[in-house]
Amino acid sequence: MTRSLQRLIRWLLVCTAMLGAVAAAQAIAPAPASRPTVARISLDDAIGPAAAEYFHDAATRAVADGSAAIVLQLDTPGGLSESMRRIIADMLASPLPVLVYVAPGGARAASAGTYILYAGQIAAMAPGTHLGAATPVALGGRTPMPLPTTGPATSGSAASPAPPGERTDAESNKVLNDAIAYIRSLAQLRGRNARWAEQAVRGAATLTADEAAQQRVIDFVAGDVHELLGKADGRVVRVGERELTLHLRGATVRDYAPNARSRFLAVVTNPTIAYLLLLAGIFGLLLEATHPGAILPGVVGGICLLVAFYALQWLPVNYAGLALMALGIGLLVAEALTPTVGALGVGGIISFVLGSIMLMHSGTPGYAVNIGVIAGIATAAALLIALVLWLVFTSRRSHLVSGDELLRDAQGELLAPLDAGAEGWALVLGERWRVRAATTLPTGARVRVLRREGLLLWVEPI
C-alpha cells in the first residue's frame, strides 16, 4: 500500500467520524416545537344552503388536516334559519374549538349571524363592526312581535311588551319563542349575556363591537386574526364534554376555500340566478314546442329548468308566486297563439310580475329576487306586446299588396288581340297574366279584372 493511499484512507475515516458526531448531536438536541395550524373559514354573504355545505366540508377537512382550531370569519346580513342551524350543529359537534370573528371593519353579524356568533367557543369582533337584529321572519309574511313602545331597541335597550290592543297569532308566537329559547340556550352554553340575546330576537336590538364586549356578548375586540389568536391564547373552553386550554399564539393561519360543489351551489341558489334559470328553462321548452326540430332550445331549456328546480328546493319559495308566474307565462303564450288585442297579454304581464315579486320571501335577508331584473323582464314583455299590437293595427290600415282582394277590379292593358272566349295576355299591376273575356278586344285595350280562376283572370273592357 502506497503512502498516498494510506493518507486517503485516513482522510475518509476522519470525515466519517465527523459526520457521525454531527448526526449524534442532532439526535440528542431537542427538536424545535412546530407551530399549530388554525383553519380559517370565511362566510361573507347571506347564510344559505351553500354556506352550510361549505362550512361542513371545510370543518371536516380542517379536522382531517390536524388543525388546532377553526376561525370562522363572519360578515353576513343573515339568512335562512335551517342553514343557520346546520352550521351551529356542525360547530357544536366539531372536535375543534371554533373562534367566531366578525371582520373586517364594517362587517356585521346580523340576524342568523348573531346566533352563530353566540355558538362559538370564542366570540370576537373587529373594530367598526356590529351585530344583532336577530328577529325571525316567517315565510308567509312579517312575524308579529312585541316591539318597544318608544322605538326600536338598540345598543342593549330593553324591549317593552306589545300594546294591549295588538294581537299576535299563535304560529308567529311559536316561531318567536323558539328562536328566543334557541339563542338563550347558546348564551347559557357559552356563558354569555342571555338577556341581551333575548332582546336581539324579541326587539331587534343591535350592538357595536365595543358595546358587545362591555355587555359580555363577545369575549373581546381584536384588530386582526393574529391579535384574535393572541388574545384567545391560554383561555379554557369547553369542546363537547371536555375542557381545553387554547395554545394559539403565533399559530399559522390556513385559509379553506369552498370546493367546486359549494361554489356551484352558491351560484345556482342565488335567488336571481335561480329565477333566470327558471325563465330560461320555460321559454326554451316553449320555443322547442313551437319550432319542432330546433333541438338546441329544448336541450338548453331542459337543463336550465332542472337546475332551477334543484335550486328552488333549497330556497324559501312561495308556491303561490310560482303559480302566478306559470299563469302569466300561459297567458302570454295564449296571446301569441290567439290574439285578443292585448287583453291576455296585459293580464299575463301583471300575473307574471306579481308572481316574480312573491316567488322569494323578501323578508329573509339576502333571499329576494333582484327587483331590477323583474322590472327589466316585465318591461321587455310589455314592449313586445305593444310592438305586436302596433304591427297588427298598422297592417289593418296598410294597402293590399297581394291576393284576390288586390286583383279584383284592378285595371290592365291587353298585350295582344283577344277573341271572345279565347285566352290572351295582359299587363295587370305590372305583371303578365293570362286573361279571358266574353267579347273581342284589340291590342292595347284597357280592361278591368272580374275574378281569378287559378292563374287565369276574367276581364271586361273599361
Q: Give the burial string for 272-291 (b: 16+ CB within 10 Å, else e).
A: ebbbbbbbbbbbbbbebeee
Q: For residue 174, indicate whether it is catalytic.
A: yes
Q: Which helix (H) or strand (E) holds 43?
A: strand 37-43
Q: What is the DSSP string of 158-205?
A: PPPPPPTT----HHHHHHHHHHHHHHHHHHHHHT--HHHHHHHHHS--
Candidate list 111, 262, 351, 356, residue with the active-site label: 111
Angle between helices 112-119 and 170-190 (to 10 degrees): 30
Q: Give the burial string for 378-391 (b: 16+ CB within 10 Å, else e).
A: beebeeebeeebee
CB atoms near residue 434 (< 10 Å):
13
Q: For residue 231, indicate whether it is catalytic.
A: no
| Rounded Cα distance, 391 and 297, in Å | 27
Q: Give the burial string for 214-245 (b: 16+ CB within 10 Å, else e).
A: eeebbbbbbeebeebbebbeebebebeeeebe
142 burial level (CB within 10 Å; 0-12, 13-18, 19+): exposed
Which residues have a catalytic role annotated? Answer: 111, 174
